[in-house]
């Protein structure tokens, strides 16, 4: 494992204890979970499909896919995150295979679909990762990226972010992560304000028929979990990017 990947793994190991506490991470709210299930129903092949959840984290997305009848394998480079995922799958009575590995080194498959949520921006070489995922996808298989404009969109983002930080401090609301993410890592997709670079990376990796849909139901479900106006101030555009492995 490279020094960069080792640093990333250590950060997520430390974050595993608090990751599910934040709105939009654990999908533990029934309305949010239902919104995400609907997204998976619209984007994944018909069940049962062999699905690889890359950067599975604490396994929230993998669990929802398994509930929908898919055969799911989850991959993550963080042992701390995988320990949480395995525990959640056991408690839910779901049989999910979890593998400790980098996103760029997926298991051989072949898989009918590759899914990821909030992961591609953490990868030093996203195009190489997307190519690696293609290599373990069946002909005619599918890619589903569930991402967002994490840097925010619009002219007043910085003002809204400062107000959010102030209100969270006043209300005693903790940080969404255990610490700030390292800002010296070479991460081309970090802090984006548009989905365009994601689309370009997917196309550069050779996936075809790239399409995008805004996930407004998910945005609403996450926003409503937070006290007003925090949900509104911290709002981020989210979208599903879907593409195909050529048949």
CB 124 within 8 A of CB 98: no
Query: pLDDT, tens digit, for every residue of 152-171?
Result: 777 777 766 677 677 777 67
| First and final C-alpha spacing in the chain | 33
Peptide bond into 43 cis (omega under 30): no
The C-alpha atoms of residue 130 and residue 223 are separated, in whole angstroms, by 30
Query: pLDDT, tens digit, for every residue of 52-105?
Result: 999 999 999 999 999 999 999 999 999 999 999 999 999 999 999 999 999 999
SS3 for 193?
A: coil
CATH class of 3-244: alpha beta
Query: pLDDT, tens digit, for every residue of 164-207?
Result: 677 777 676 666 667 788 888 889 999 899 999 999 999 999 99
Mark out the alpha helices in 55-193 (DSSP H runs): 60-67, 79-92, 126-135, 157-170
Total residues belonging to the chain? 247
Mark out the alpha helices in 69-192 (DSSP H runs): 79-92, 126-135, 157-170
Pairing mode, if any, of strands 97-100 and 71-76?
Answer: parallel
Q: What is the CA radius of gyration of the chain?
A: 17
**Residue written as tokens 């995150």?**
81
Average pLDDT, the chain: 90
Domain boundaries, the chain: 3-244
The C-alpha atoms of residue 216 and residue 237 are separated, in whole angstroms, by 8
The C-alpha atoms of residue 162 and residue 164 are separated, in whole angstroms, by 5
The closest alpha carbon to 142, from 67, 246, 224, belongs to 246
pLDDT greater at residue 169 or residue 38: 38
Give just the sign of the alpha carbon dihedral 33, 100, 88, 138: positive
CB 207 within 8 A of CB 106: no
Helices (H) and strands (E) in the chain, counts: 9, 7
Report, in this order, helix, strand and coil percent for the chain, each rounded to 5: 40, 20, 40
Kindly indicate the confidence band of residue 27, based on its pLDDT and cuts at 50, 70 and 90.
confident
The pTM for the full model equals: 0.90
């Amino acid at each position: 494992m490279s020094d960069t990947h080792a640093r990333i793994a250590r950060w997520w190991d430390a974050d595993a204890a608090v990751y599910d506490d934040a709105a939009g991470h654990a999908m533990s709210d029934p309305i949010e979970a239902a919104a995400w299930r609907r997204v998976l129903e619209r984007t994944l092949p018909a069940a049962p499909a062999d699905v690889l959840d890359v950067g599975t984290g604490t396994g929230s997305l993998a669990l929802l896919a398994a509930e929908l009848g898919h055969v799911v394998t989850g991959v993550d480079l963080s042992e701390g995150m995988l320990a949480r995922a395995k525990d959640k799958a056991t408690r839910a009575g779901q049989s999910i295979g979890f593998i400790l590995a980098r996103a760029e080194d997926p298991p051989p498959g072949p898989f009918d679909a590759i899914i990821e949520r909030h992961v591609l921006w953490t990868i030093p070489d996203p195009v190489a990762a997307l190519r690696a995922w293609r290599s373990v996808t069946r002909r005619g298989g599918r890619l589903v990226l569930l991402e967002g404009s994490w840097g925010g969109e619009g002219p007043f983002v910085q003002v809204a972010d400062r107000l959010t930080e102030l209100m969270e401090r006043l209300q005693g609301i903790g940080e969404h992560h255990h610490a700030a993410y390292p800002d010296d890592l070479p991460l081309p997709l970090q802090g984006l304000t548009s989905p365009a670079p994601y689309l370009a990376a997917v196309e550069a990796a050779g996936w075809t028929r790239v399409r995008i849909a805004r996930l407004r139901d998910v945005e609403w479900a996450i926003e409503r979990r937070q006290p007003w106006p925090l949900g509104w101030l911290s709002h981020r555009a989210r979208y599903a990017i879907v593409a195909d492995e050529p048949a």
